[in-house]
Amino acid sequence: MTREMINSAEAINEAMHIAMDLDASVIAYGLGIDDPKTIFGTTKGLKERFGPNRVFDTPTSENAMTGIGVGAALGGLKPVMCHQRLDFFLLALDQLVNNAAKWHYTFGSGNNVPITIRLILGRGWGQGPTHSQNLQAWFAHIPGLKVVMPSNPIDAKGLLLSAIFDPDPVIFLEHRWIHHALGDVPEGDIRTPIGKARVARAGSAITIVAMSYLVAEAHHACAALSKIGIECELIDLVSIKPLDVETIRCSLEKTGRLLVLDTGPEMCSVSSEIIAHFAMNHLSLLKVSPQRLASPDCPEPTSYGLSKAFYIDAKKIMSKVCDVLKVAEAPYHLLPAERPYHDVPGDWFTGPF
């Protein structure tokens, strides 16, 4: 008998329990890790089970605490550090960029930094310009870092376990809107390979490459377009760095059309890198110019009204696909009914905390 579906927050919590059971060198820390909310439930029960020496709260000293994590990793531990807002972690970039990312390159064999840094990002609920930034392109730009972004519970669990036991520093970016996404997740130790994308839906009309929460919006657009005979191939990027260009290339051999969706700002984005790669190296595969949808090059508005036009949704994805395929009338009526409020993922959402 299979167990009931679990959500991504529960899957992350399960991965943490498994990793700490498997290896006594795994420690977990971060601001609020043991408070009643347990970082959206992702750290629930860890301190009670593994004790305060392995699971502990931290002061708001982001750079210092990251440096301690780098030192602990060099000393033989496997730290998992968590920030409830990616934005807060920007204070720690010195330790990440100048130490964690470069240590192995500088000092060679036996000097790896096996630290996992969980950063929560996302959108909505008036998060505004300083609590909602999607900076995956920043981290991917730094040589020596690996960057992953799960879109569903099974990858949330499998990627986190792979990250914790990876010898290099891994940035684990979790969109707060995937925390409540449900899925069938195998029990026990499962690993999602870092550096491998996933074909989430097969098709031959166009290749849509998406990441994180945008995989869900793309699924809605693909399902609606399928009802009028347009089958899109949807690729869940899963790993931002290393980037699996081979899976995208294989898809383009079938479709010849490319649309990249990015949760971050358009300028110098992950979508920019993907489009540049295929324009430079595989131009002959493209029947039409590659396209992308990313956030505007401006800070996210806090205003409920202004933020309505800011984000990519299934309707915008469908519109772009229809433009590329020269479909005269996009079948918007086949999309799921719009949510009552655009800045929450569903009626069940009770707030970001």
The set of catalytic residues is 62, 131
What's phi and psi for 91, nearest 5 deg? -70, -15
Nearest to 32 by CA among 57, 7, 64, 65: 57
189, with CB counted inside 10 A (0-12, 13-18, 19+), is middle
CA–CA separation, 69 and 58 (whole Å): 12
- Could you give the angle at the alpha carbon of 290 between the alpha carbons of 289 and 296, nearest 5°? 120
CA–CA separation, 233 and 147 (whole Å): 23
Number of alpha carbons in the 13 Å side-chain half-sphere of residue 213: 24
Nearest to 153 by CA among 306, 6, 317: 6
What angle, rounded to 10 degrees, do the helices at 245-255 and 270-281 form? 60
User: What are the angstrom distances between the C-alpha of 51 and each of 48, 80, 114, 188?
Assistant: 6, 15, 21, 22
What's phi and psi for 221, nearest 5 deg? -65, -45
Q: What stretches of 230-327 adopt beta strand conformation (E)?
A: 232-236, 239-241, 258-265, 291-295
